[in-house]
Amino acid sequence: MKETTKILVAGVGGQGVVFLTNLLVKAALLADIPVATSEIHGLAQRGGSVTAGITLGEHTYGFLEKGGVDILFGLEPLEAQRCASYLNKNSIAVIDENRILPYSVNSGNAAYPDIKMFVDYLKKNINKVIYNVESPEGINSVQRNLYVLGRTCHEVDFPIQSEFIKKAIAEIVIKDPEEKCLAAFMLGLTKEEIIVESK
Amino acid sequence: MENKVADILTSYSSPHKVSAIGNEAVARGAIEAGVNGVFSYPGTPSTEISEIFNLVSNYQNDSNKNPDDVKNATYFEYSINEKIALEKAIAFSIGNKSALCVMKNVGMNVASDPLMSITYQTIIAPLVIVVCDDPGCHSSSNEQDSRYWGNMASVPVFNPATPAAAYEMTKQAFKLSAELRLPVIVRTTTRVSHTRGMLEYNEINADKREAHFDRMPEHINIPARTATAHQKLLDKLHSETVDPFFKNFNKVHFQGKHKSTAIISSGVSTSYLLEVISRNGLEDQLELLDLGLIFPFPEKDVAAFLQKGFEKVLVVEELDPIIENAVRNIVQKQNLTCQITGKEESQLGNTGEFTLGQIDQVVGDFFQVETIGKTGLNGVSAYDDSLPPRPPALCSGCPHRASYYALKLIVPREDNDVILCGDIGCSGLGALPPLKMIDTINHMGMSISMAQGLSEALKSKKTKVVAMLGDGTFFHSGITSLLNAVYTKANMLVIIFDNRTIGMTGHQDHPGATHLDKYNEIQIEPLVKGMGINFVETLMPFDMKDTYKKIDKAMAQEGVSVLISKAPCVFLPDYKEFTKQDDKIIINHAKCNTCHNHYDHGISCSKKASSGSNLTRAIAKIRATERVDSKDQSCPANICNHGFFNSILEKDYKTALDMVRDKLLFSRTCGDICHRPCELFSNHESNATIPIKQLKKFVSGIDENFNDFSSALNQIEQATPKDKHIAIVGGGPAGLSAAYDLIRDGYEVTVFEKEEAAGGLIKYVIPDFRMDKQGFDVEVSQLAKMGVQFKFNVSLGKEMELEEIANQFDGVIIAIGLGKSNELEAVSSISKSKKYDSMNFLKEYNLKTLAIQPGSKIVVIGGGNSAIDVARSAKRFNEDNEVILSCVETESAMPAFTEEVEHAKEEGVTILANSYVEECTEKGDLKIKLHQFDSKKHLQDINCDYIVVAIGQQGNVEEYATIGDKNLTNGNKIKADKYNGFSNYKNVFVAGDICADNHMSLIGAIGSGKRAVIGIKQKLEGYKYSYEGLNALLHLNHKEKEGAIANPIELEGDITEFIKNFNLFQSCEKCNHCIDNLGCPAMIKVDGKIIIDEPKCTQCGLCIDVCPNDAIAWEKELELVNE
């Protein structure tokens, strides 16, 4: 692992941005990695955009900057695209094709961006893109986030070892059955026929 | 949350490392300091602190969970507002219990009154105030800098940079407060409160305080004491007591020898700087002074730091240059030479939040080094610029949305007659699209003050002002303002959205909370009634009809009125009682965005898709007391009566007229003489019908619109030329209606007319007292302007032969009417000067060539509409004329329209029904022997001057003999296919009275003309649809509905007011109402179709009442209907 890793989690209120952030914090603590976060979630419950920064390593405090993110977790494609300026040529972007249409799109006053075009742009310009278009059956939104996290751990040299993430799931999950959450993570982690978009 | 609490509660002894957000760290610091009581009003970014104490307190006060120590449990309350919170915290301290008071930045404004005076007096036990600022206004109405309160109120202020610092400073703040006997402020910002970092928890102070009250002169604030108290206060602040705290919290990082540059910073800026310095390896080049205790300003420490001899000093702080100014002050006082780089020089500015990247750049510029600032991707702005924003919205199922929606149905937003004053909290989200039901939002509780002030200011205007606020905001600061409104006799409506919680910040308790035994629940209705407000009503917002009624009624009240819209927040457990958890909402796509008026959606429709017009339809759905299905009032010309009616409701009379003209040219003429089958055939059970004819007369009567035929001309311009030429024989209403449809569809059209002008029976036979003749001429004259060619004075069978034109043209429509009047044998011997048939009588009447002596006695024979027209014309020709009408039918069986018969009688025509002319002789005047028709007995003898025979017409077969006998009826009418008017001869179609199945009426003629056009289109273009008005057209020959005539609705006064009780229902293709006007997040549009996002749907059922197309329903209820 390099000295510091900066992760940006982006999504929509209610999607699990805060949950995923807390999970990664827990996993980092278990792995004895210094961790800090910075969140803005005042109006999260009302369906607005939510982002959280997670920084791993000494001398970081959870703060992110444009061009300074190593891993982007976009739990919703439009929100991922909104964070594009935080990426640099070495970044990894994980984009889950789990669209939530904002009102302006619903009402026809704005167009949802062409995500395929954005993914193609990223493929040419950053280190790696994991564009998840699969939704395993019987999975809720929290578990879907874990599935995507599993896929990411499978595909890239994730700074927190999977075993700590598994332990963290066991500790942090409250509402959902723990086994289902673990299973979702493992499904992403071990699935063989995962298609990874790589430069 | 439970975990966090457990964590905070259980780690009593041995120090251990944790990860916590700043707010958790503050709470833990206070717990370790042994806080006894916590008082708070929730507000982001401070809320988590109070939430932790709420849980801690509930836990500690639970004798099951905490059996040993309940008496020492921490007291916690969500106070009614910040002022009360601080006052009660002060009182707690006076009672020798330590207190913590927590609020957001703007809360301190409310709490400032007690703060400003207590400092002149004394507290006893320590009192710490935590204020969380929000640079960047993530969730606040301003980004005020709370550090000023230190200077303003003369209280110490800590300003932590990290969660660890926040923890330590909170803990020490209690200590400092105890030593100074002054409140101490810990001020954080969003980026500290909501940042997670590592820190170490330590032991909890186990010393128990004994509560007591000691009488002290300081507890009484009187002016005589305050002057000296002020000096004592300043002495406290500058005493040596503070020094150790300065030492602890004003730290120098990277100390070294002979450095020429330094940075002074405070708060989160220090964290940014530490990261930037570390990653750029600048530790050797500078010293960094982090100021944690910023008031009283650590003048000695800063002076000592500056005296180290730096050449350049950078000051970094968010918001106002408070530290910078103090540093400059010291530099000047100490006569130092160092150069200060402050906000102006670094361009960091006084607004918003700093970012890591910004600090990196400023540091790079300051040290003139190339920092490893991050670079983004090339061309990224093409992707992240101008993306659709995602603002927060009211939750799906939110009762506020229901209230706002009902208000939207009542309050027109186009004018400024109603001003809507909103307030802080979830209810403020009603300002966002699509609801947009708020004109002002200020600060907590201002809605009620704004409303009473505006209504006073605008007193002379017709303005109604409405204040709208949540229950939390009402309790916080609305009550006193409402009292002021009552007392000053304001004129306003207050709507309180009572969802029994503080929603926006995450459902904290307030006086309306029901779900905790700990609090007394306060009901708003008796509270406001107790203020002396007469009009107070509580409504349940999901009952849309009732909500509409109550808001409508309340809007009309004078003085102060209050509506309480009461339903729990979707996050409260009892919300479920208001919804159907065991059912599911489904959308019937056969009704959603579907037009049932046209099979062929290519047919022109003047109804524009607009959220305003759909809103009108939605209003009708909720407001109307009579709901009529539009298909029960269908028109043989298939006018979209639904769209027509709703355009009038919307006061869009031009569109209403255009919707008529989409189907027929003769709108004003129909308004005059149509026999309104759409009304008479209504199957509506309550007999209620929409007075379509009178409405048509109304919209056609607006000359400006009437004379504007541009919509039809546009249709012609846009039509694809068909390169086919159609001949229409006969320029009456049937032929002209066919011409109107064909020319707008891209056909070439020539009309052949035997008279010298077009118009047929309408022009020559219908008397002028029944209709606006000039208006009809205007309507007819449009056709020539539209490109229809006319050939006048040409008769079939004389100047041209049917076979010939059938060969010449691509299609022919015969609409020549009935050319021959039926003759009455009994009058055959009467001389021509005394005898008329109805046609020539009416023609002479209309052409004003009728030569009848005044005071004549005229007998009209016949019971049809022509007979009635003759009788009425004869009477009107000279009022001294005596007119008798004899017909074989009984009066109720007369073929004439009942209304016309009634008019004739009113005008003085004598009707002798069930009679016939046995004999008519001429001896100077005429002598008629009338017999009773059924019994054949003699009835009476009449001497008269004229007899008019009006017993119908038949076709003049000579004109169209080539068509063949087998295609004719025995009245010489031409048989035609009932679906398309085809005559069975070549390319000839039939319309109007000459057509065998035609109903002898204006609308019958129009409908059959339109039907023949469909026949032409089917034949020439392979058009696949049937005639859209076929059912209503064929239905014309049915008997009129009995009784419908008895009480025709008379329109009175404001026509749109009058019809407000009706909803003429039909689904419409141009509907996007739920998206345009409601915006429930659980309703989304995918590929043009509205669908319910089930995981988001709360089963509140609001959308069912909202849908003007009736396309949304409960699944179970629908199953019942289907069974």
**For residues B174 and B33, what is the distance between their CA atoms, to the nearest angstrom?**
7
Across the range B522-526, mean pLDDT stands at 96
Q: pLDDT by residue (tens digit) across B1011-1026?
A: 999 999 999 999 999 9
pLDDT for the residue numbered B5: 63
pLDDT for the residue numbered A172: 86
DSSP-assigned letters across all residues of B358-375:
HHHHHHHHHHT-------
The domain defined by B719-816+964-1028 folds into FAD/NAD(P)-binding domain (3.50.50)
Which architecture, in CATH terms, is B2-237?
3-Layer(aba) Sandwich (3.40)
With an 8 Å Cβ cutoff, are B384 and A81 in contact? yes
For chain B, give every domain's residue range: 2-237, 250-367, 412-578, 719-816+964-1028, 820-954
pLDDT at B76 over 70: yes
pLDDT at B1046 over 50: no
CB-based contact B114:B89 (threshold 8 Å) = no
With an 8 Å Cβ cutoff, are A47 and B191 in contact? no
pLDDT for the residue numbered B22: 97
Q: pLDDT by residue (tens digit) across B723-756?
A: 999 999 999 999 999 999 999 999 999 999 999 9
Residues of B in contact with A84 (CB under 8 A): 377, 380, 383-384
Number of domains in chain A: 1
pLDDT for the residue numbered B1044: 45
**For residues B221 and B229, what is the distance between their CA atoms, to the nearest angstrom?**
10
Task: Read off the tokens for B225.
Answer: 């004491």
CATH assignment of the domain containing A36: 3.40.920.10
> In angstroms, what separates the C-alpha of B720 from chain A's closest C-alpha?
30
CATH of domain B412-578: 3.40.50.970
Does residue B433 sit at the A interface (CB-CB below 8 Å)?
yes
Q: In this structure, which amino acid lies at residue B204?
A: I
With an 8 Å Cβ cutoff, are B374 and A82 in contact? no
Across the range B666-675, mean pLDDT stands at 95
Phi, psi of B103 (to 5 degrees): -160, 170
- Quick one: what percent of chain B has pLDDT higher than 70? 97
Residues of A in contact with B194 (CB under 8 A): 38-41
Across the range B646-669, mean pLDDT stands at 96
Q: Which domain holds residue A41?
A: 5-198
pLDDT at B679 over 90: no
With an 8 Å Cβ cutoff, are A46 and B394 in contact? yes
Would you give the distance in Å from CA B793 to the centre of its chain?
A: 58
Task: Read off the tokens for B918.
Answer: 């046995």
**For residues B611 and B1047, what is the distance between their CA atoms, to the nearest angstrom?**
36
Residue B573 CB neighbour total at 10 angstroms: 9
For residue B1065, name the pLDDT band (cuts at 50, 70, 90).
very high
CATH of domain B820-954: 3.50.50.60
> In angstroms, what separates the C-alpha of A56 from chain B's closest C-alpha?
11
Full-model pTM:
0.92
Q: What value of ipTM does the predicted structure carry?
A: 0.94
* Segment (H or E) for A172: helix A162-172
Count of positions (residues) in chain B: 1123
B171 closest CA partner among B148, B196, B203:
B203
Q: Closest partner residue to B275 among A41, A60, A111, by Cβ?
A: A60
Instruction: Choose the mutation target among B191, B200, B387, B401 for the interface with A, i.e. most A CBs under 10 Å.
Output: B387
> In angstroms, what separates the C-alpha of B160 from chain A's closest C-alpha?
14
Q: What contacts B227, CB < 8 A, 6 or more positions away?
A: none
Characterise A119 by phi-psi region: left (phi > 0), alpha (psi -120 to 50), beta (else).
alpha
CB-based contact B672:B696 (threshold 8 Å) = no
Domains B250-367 and B719-816+964-1028 in one fold: no
Return the minimum-mean-pLDDT range out of B2-16, B524-538, B1014-1028.
B2-16
For residue A89, name the pLDDT band (cuts at 50, 70, 90).
very high
Average of per-residue pLDDT values in chain A: 89
pLDDT at B959 over 50: yes
Between B1058 and A84, the higher pLDDT residue: A84
Does residue B426 sit at the A interface (CB-CB below 8 Å)?
yes
Across the range B234-247, mean pLDDT stands at 96
Contacts with A, B 479-518, CB within 8 Å: 504, 506
Side-chain half-sphere exposure of B654, counting CA atoms within 13 A: 9
> What is the end-to-end Cα distance of chain A in Å, rounded?
21
With an 8 Å Cβ cutoff, are B374 and A88 in contact? yes
pLDDT at B582 over 50: yes
pLDDT for the residue numbered B1088: 85
CA angle B119, B120, B123 (to 5 degrees): 55
DSSP state of B974: B
Return the minimum-mean-pLDDT range out of A113-127, A144-158, B1-15, B982-996.
B1-15
pLDDT at B828 over 70: yes
pLDDT at B1047 over 70: no
* Segment (H or E) for B739: helix B733-744
Three-state DSSP at B452 gives helix
CATH of domain B250-367: 3.40.50.920
Does residue B183 sit at the A interface (CB-CB below 8 Å)?
no
Q: What angle separates helix B898-906 from helix B865-877, to the nearest 10 degrees?
A: 20
Between B413 and B761, the higher pLDDT residue: B761
With an 8 Å Cβ cutoff, are B196 and A35 in contact? yes
Across the range A59-82, mean pLDDT stands at 96
With an 8 Å Cβ cutoff, are B389 and A29 in contact? no
Average of per-residue pLDDT values in chain B: 93
Q: pLDDT by residue (tens digit) across B324-333?
A: 999 999 999 9
pLDDT for the residue numbered B14: 66
pLDDT at B373 over 50: yes
Cβ pairs bridging A and B (under 8 Å): 171
With an 8 Å Cβ cutoff, are B197 and A104 in contact? no
> What is the end-to-end Cα distance of chain B in Å, rounded?
49
With an 8 Å Cβ cutoff, are B194 and A64 in contact? no
